[in-house]
Structure formats: structure tokens, C-alpha cells
Amino acid sequence: MSIYDTLNEQQKRGVFTTEGPVLLLAGAGSGKTRVLTHRIAYLIEELGVSPWNIMAITFTNKAAGEMKERVENLIGMGAESIWVTTFHSSCVRILRRYADRLGYDNSFTIYDTDDQKAVMKDVCKRLQIDTKTLKERAILSAISSAKDELISPQEYELKAMGDFRKQKIVQAYKEYQLALKKNNAMDFDDLIVKTVELFKADSEVLGSYQKRFKYIMVDEYQDTNTAQFELIRLLADANRNLCVVGDDDQSIYKFRGANIRNILDFEQVYPEAEVIRLEQNYRSTQNVLDAANAVIRNNKGRKSKTLWTDKGEGNRLHFRQFDNAYEEAEFIADDVARKKREAAADYGDCAVLYRTNAQARILEERFIIEGIPYDVVGGTNFYARREIKDLLAYLKTIDNGRDDLAVKRIINIPKRGIGAATIAKVQDYADMREISFYDALRQADEIMSIGKSAAKLKPFVTMIQSFRSKLEFYGLEDLIKDVIETTGYVAELEASDEEDAENRIENIDELISKIVAFEEVHDQPTLGEFLEEVALVADIDRVEDDSNRVLLMTLHSAKGLEFPHVYLAGMEDGIFPSYMTITSDDPDEIEEERRLAYVGMTRAKEDLTLCYAKMRMVRGETQMNAVSRFVREIPEELMDNRPPAPRFRPMDVPSSQFTPAEGQVYKYKPTATLMPKRTAAENKPFIAGGIGSLNAPGINKGVGAVTGGKPDYDAGDRVRHIKYGEGTVTDLEPGPRDYKVTVDFDDAGQKIMYAAFARLNKI
């Protein structure tokens, strides 16, 4: 039996149509990765194409790794020669060979978001831009959008004529690019832009890659921006054997620069293109698909397709209505716990999706109270955490002293008594001689203006040089441990009284684990390669496949994932779609939101629950919203509960006074009056479901005791925690909002937490 016999007819067409441009319209769950991997196998095994001549591009390291593994399983030997990678990794690989043709060193640094902010802050200061009226983040966003569209600073300047704000942005754009060039650095957008520049400026380089990549495949094509489109167009221009795979109904990254016209207009760019629709879904039940089809059909800017499955109708969608967001969270947590208890589902089978990150807080609190293990996807990125940024800055400085930002970040971490004035004088010296900040540090004795401060700089330089000298015989694990030990970084954390010190040390341990894992999969790992991989890691790549936890995530983060049981929280007009979208004059805005709803719905394999709360607090104000139009677009026969007809528009609900007596237990009821912020005299600590001193006790939590005193336990008392079990209170310290309690648990060891959040019971 051939490996191709397992494909359906449309999938076979996608595999066997190899010559010329091909557009694979792959609906959600239609097996597009299967088609791509079998297509690669067919090219190699049946048509005799060399693996060296095949390129497959996707967006995340996770997707690239999965595709590479599946190709290896299909063809075995030779798979390692196929270029299966992400857009950014591809460009890094090319620029590492040819960046010198654009005036960079080939060992350039890749700047992440924090690095960009630091550069822009300095640029705005030099240009005297008022960052109260024009924020650094807004400037960086405008620059990123320009780069997505391949608009250079010079072109941007022409478009900025007569617009004061844009003229300020273009000044910053020019200075920002000069600063990057001086630091031999590129940001993420530059990786694509500079590769396109290289191809357009150097026909020899372009020709060599066109000759190599005779067959090019691009996954998630609906998410490409203009720069990425141009990159692919240039590479495919000689052979035109370009196969793009995507689904316009899942184009949800306009805010990142994605251009849906790339997929909608593919046949205009390539008139001879073959269009193949993959509509058979292998993920969801027919009821879920019928509901998703009904919603997305309301969009006008799309290519027609209708998903179907042979898995049967399955359960009807569950629509659940609540009086407020806290009841919604309580229901979701209870329902997950019930499914686990009845063995209907495991924690890892469930996901809660929401429109905005802010919605996660209430859900997290409820899950903690219920003792349900969970992970929040798309929160603070591991590599963006302070302690990780610090240690990576050390590694960057050891690897490449030309990165001024990295050097400045850690020159006083731990504190070395090097003042801002000294740093500024060193920078002036570096600027005058057109050398890096680190090279200026090495010449500290020659900087007359810093005087005796030079003595403080020498130990830092000596330490970095020592680390560099050890690179020849050190592994990366040994290096990071030496950095931690020599700098005393962890020792300082251990000695500190910072609330998150333990978590930060655990994060450092995780970084060491990451380095060890990196060394295990690379024959001759280098520090530069490790830093490059870290720079290219995406949030979703951190999700562990075998982690038995409920995943909480935004709808954007959920794309590409699937779960047996999915809860869509906050299905209200004003939340999803957002109030800004509803009031926008741009019809494309609501269509993108509808595509987002389609993505969320099609994540569900077996069970889909839509949750609606009549009232929800947003930015401190309680709003009453109608049921989301996306719910109302679902045929009633597909749901087990009928949503109410819209009776009001999104609005703010006025609050009334409520001052509970000391010690009173208050349970929120649907008929209760909403509460305003209390005066300072009234604002006594309020313990309710894990949070102290909240503005609206009745609304913000289900049950709580309003008290004026401390918890009913003290140092020396035995207590029980829902997760950590039994332990002894060793310290109880009053804080500005709540008591900080230290407990030595019998099994879990010492934990420091806030009393209201801990929910400890005296035993």
C-alpha cells in the first residue's frame, strides 16, 4: 500500500500537482501539514528531486520542527538537506553569509522588543521628542508597519510631508536605523527587509538561491505581510514552482502586518495558478463545523469553502448565560472539575479561550481556588523576564561585545557602583572614536573625564574577558553556571526579601535546563547559535505537549492548536467583537473579528461551550453588553440553549453605595446593586476568593469576609492549603494591602504568599 493511498482526493491533488504555482485553500483541520509533508516525499521519491532543492517555510519553530520530523519519518535519509524553517530563521541563515554585502558584520546581533525600546528611548532623547505626546511604542509600531510594507525611511519621509506627527516619526526612524547599524544589530523586521534588499541589490546572491530552491512551499500563507510576500516572490521568480498553503478564513494577524490580499489576490499575481480546496475536516464534529461555517459565511471578503467531516454530528454547542464574569469563571472551573471527576476529560483536554489577556485574571483566580492546574499561554514571555534578560545580556556581551545595550544592561548587575555619569562619559568616548561601548570600557584608562571611576570598570572588563577565554574549553552549561556563580546573581536573589525571588531562581534553573537541552541536540553547539535560537522562539513554542494542565489563552494564541473541550469566554458585543470594532467605520475590522471567532470555534474537537456574562468590569467600569453577534449568527438548532434577543447596547452601568459592616460575610447575588470605589475610611481589607482590599467586593468575588483584623492564624499555627497540603506558619507580616504569610509545608517546603490569596485554613 502506498503512503499516498491514505490521502483523500483533494489532498492527492495537492500532493501530485507539483509544477507551477499552486494555491492550497486548506480549511481548519483539513490536514494541510499532511499534504505538505507528503508533497515533499513525492517530489523526492517519485520525481527524483534532490532534497537540497526543496524549501518549506512556516511561521513558528514548533510548526517547522513538527514538519521536519514528519518528513524524516516519511523519507528517512536525506531529509536533513531540506530547508524546513521559519521566515526569520531562513533570513538569518542567508544574512549570516552575506550581511557584509549590506555593510554589516556577518556576526550581527538580533534585537528583541526590549532592546528596540531601549534604542528608541535614547533616540527620542537625542531628538528631543516629547514622549508624552508621541510615545516610543507608537514610533516603533509605525516603523514596524513601514518595514512590513518595505517602506524605507526615505520613502516614509515623502509620505510624511505636511504631517507633523509623521515627520517626527521619520526622524526617529532614520536615527533608529543608524543606531542599529552602529551596533551591528537588526530587529526582527530587518531580518526580512534586509534579505529582500540583499536579493534586489545582488543578482549573484539571488541567483544562487533561485538555483538552489527549485520547489518552494509556504505554510500559513494568509499570515504573510508584504515584505514576506516579496521575499518569496523573488525566490520563486525563476522556477515559479511555488505552492502556498493557507486559509483566508483564518487570517487574524492584521495587527502584526499580515496582508490578507496576499492570499485573496494570489491568482492575479500568478494567473496560471492551480487552486485546490481542502474542505474535509479531520478534527471536529459536524455540529461544530456547521456552526463555524454559519458564522464565517457572513464575511464578504473570502474565498468560498464549506468544511465537512465524516465523524458524525456530535454534541450540540453549549450556550451558557451568567450575570457576571465571576459566575462565568466559576462555571468554567466547576465544569472542568466535573469532567475530570467523572473521567469525561482530563485537564489537558480542556482550553479556555478569550479575546483579551485581561480576561485571564478572574479565570486564574477561580482555577487556583478550585485547585485546577493550568498554564497561561501568551503571558510574559519566558525570555522577556528580568532575570533571563540579565543573564542573556551577559551571554551576549561574552559572545559579541558590539551589542551596547547588552553591555549597559549588566554593567551594574549586580551593583558595582558605576554611575550614570560615568556610563555617559564612556559612551561619549565611544561615539567620538566610533567604537563599541565595550571597547571603550577596555580603554577606560585613556578616558580622562572619568578619573578614578576607571578603577570600577576594570573588574567588569576583566570578568568578561575571563569568560571569553574559557569559551574554548567550556560547554555552554559550564559557562552559564560560571556566570551565575562569579556574578553572585542567584546568591543575591537568595539573600533578598523580594516576593518573587523564588520564582526568579526557578526561572534561572529553567534557563540552565534550556541550555542543556540545546547542547544535547547540537553536535558542536556555539554560544552564538544558542542566542540566535533564543531570539527566534515564539510564545506558543513553550507549550508542553505532555503537560496535563488546562490552557488559558487568547484566541490569537490558540491558532494552530486543537482540544477535545473548548470554552469561549466573554461572548459579548463590546468584548468580542470589541467595542472599538463595532464602532469602527472600517467593515474589514468586523470581518477580522469574525475570522477570529471562526478560529476559536474550530479549535474544538468534541465539545464547544460559549459563555456570556450580562455584566463585566472593563478598565474599572462595569458594562452591560448584549450577546455577541457571532453567537446570534449560529443556527439555534445547533445549540442546546437559546441565546436571548439583544435588548440593549454596550453601556456603562452607574454604581451605588455599599459599605459592609466589619466582619460581615457578603455573597454577591444577581439582584445586588453594583458598587463604587470606597473611601479611604471604608476601604478596609476585604478577603474574597483570594484577593484583598478590592474596590467592589460583592462584584469582584463570590464569597468573602470583610474584616478589619488579621487572619485567624499566627506564627506557630498549623494550617492547610488546597494545593500544598499541611504546614506550619513561620512568619506573618502586615503589608499595604494584605498580610504576607510564610509557611513551611510538610511536603512542599517553604512558601511565601499573601494571606487572602493563600486561603489557608487553621487546623
Report the chain (763 residues): mean pLDDT per 10 consecutive residues.
91 97 96 94 94 92 85 81 92 96 95 92 94 88 95 94 92 97 96 98 97 96 96 96 96 91 95 97 97 97 94 97 93 97 97 90 86 81 82 93 90 90 92 92 90 90 93 89 92 76 82 85 87 70 68 92 97 92 88 97 98 80 87 96 65 35 31 30 29 29 38 90 84 72 83 74 90
Dihedral (CA of 170, 172, 174, 176) sign: negative
Q: How high is the pLDDT of residue 459?
A: 93
The amino acid present at 599, given as its one-letter code, is V
Residue 547's Cα: distance from chain center in Å?
18
Distance (Å, rounded) from C-alpha 61 to C-alpha 84?
10
d(CA 167, CA 165): 5
577 upstream amide cis, omega within 30 of 0 = yes
- Judge contact between 578 and 593, C-beta under 8 A: yes
- C-alpha span between 326 and 701 (Å, rounded): 7
Amino acid 319 reads F
Give the DSSP H/E element, type plus range, for residue 22.
strand 22-26
Q: How many Å is the Cα radius of gyration of the chain?
A: 29
Pairing mode, strands 350-354 and 550-554: parallel
Q: Hey, what long-range contacts does 557-560 have (CB within 8 A, 24 or more apart)?
A: 557/377, 557/378, 558/351, 558/353, 558/599, 558/600, 558/603, 559/250, 559/252, 559/599, 560/60, 560/63
Q: Do strands 109-111 and 604-618 pair parallel, antiparallel, or not at all (unpaired)?
A: unpaired
Under a CB-based contact definition with an 8 Å cutoff, are residues 728 and 715 in contact?
Answer: no
Count the helices and strands in the chain (H runs, E runs). Answer: 31, 24
Identity of the residue numbered 233: R
Residue 448 confidence (pLDDT): 86
Question: Among candidates 81, 609, 602, which has minimal Cα distance to 345?
Answer: 609
Can you tell me which residue has the cell 585613556?
A: 446
CB 668 within 8 A of CB 686: no
Helix, strand, or coil here: 483?
helix
pLDDT value of position 376? 85
Q: Output the CA angle 684-690-693, nearest 5 degrees.
A: 20
**Three-class SS of residue 411?**
coil
CA distance 541 to 359: 22
Neighbouring residues of 149: CB distance < 8 A, sequence distance ≥ 6: 225, 226, 227, 257
* Cβ neighbours for 505, distance < 8 A, ≥ 6 positions apart: 490, 493, 494
Cα–Cα distance, 277 to 34 (Å, whole number): 14
Taking a C-beta distance cutoff of 8 angstroms, is the pair 601, 618 a contact?
Answer: no
Helix, strand or coil, per DSSP, at residue 419: coil
Phi, psi for 387 (deg, rounded to 5)? -65, -35
Angle of helix 32-45 versus helix 61-75 axis, rounded to 10: 40
8-state DSSP, 515: H
Check: CB of residue 705 under 8 Å from CB of residue 718. no
With vertex at residue 258, the alpha carbon angle to CA 254 and CA 259, rounded to the nearest 5 degrees, is: 100
Kindly report the length of the chain: 763
CB 712, CB 762: distance < 8 Å = yes
How far apart CA 404 and CA 429 sit, in angstroms, is 13
Q: Which of 317, 311, 272 is nearest to 294 (CA)?
A: 317
Its sign, for the CA torsion 222, 227, 233, 236, is: negative
> How many Å apart are CA 296 and CA 634, to the nearest integer?
10
Cell triple for 307: 468544511
Instruction: Give the pLDDT confidence score for residue 288 in this predicted structure.
Output: 98
pLDDT of residue 593: 97
Cβ-Cβ contacts under 8 Å for 178 (sequence gap 6 or more): none
d(CA 586, CA 652): 24
Q: What share of the chain is helix, strand, coil (3-state, %, to 5)?
A: 50, 15, 35
Cα(580)–Cα(15) distance, integer angstroms: 43
Q: How many CA atoms lie within 13 A of 346 on its CB side?
A: 6
Residues tagged active-site: 32-33, 219-220, 250, 603
Which grid cell sits at 621? Answer: 467600569
Angstrom distance (rounded) from CA 87 to CA 753: 43
Question: With b meaning 16 or more CB within 10 Å and e meaning fewer, what string describes 320-339?
Answer: bbbbbbbbbbbbbbebbbeb
Please compute, for residue 182, the number of CA atoms within 13 A of its CA located in the half-sphere on the CB side.
Answer: 19
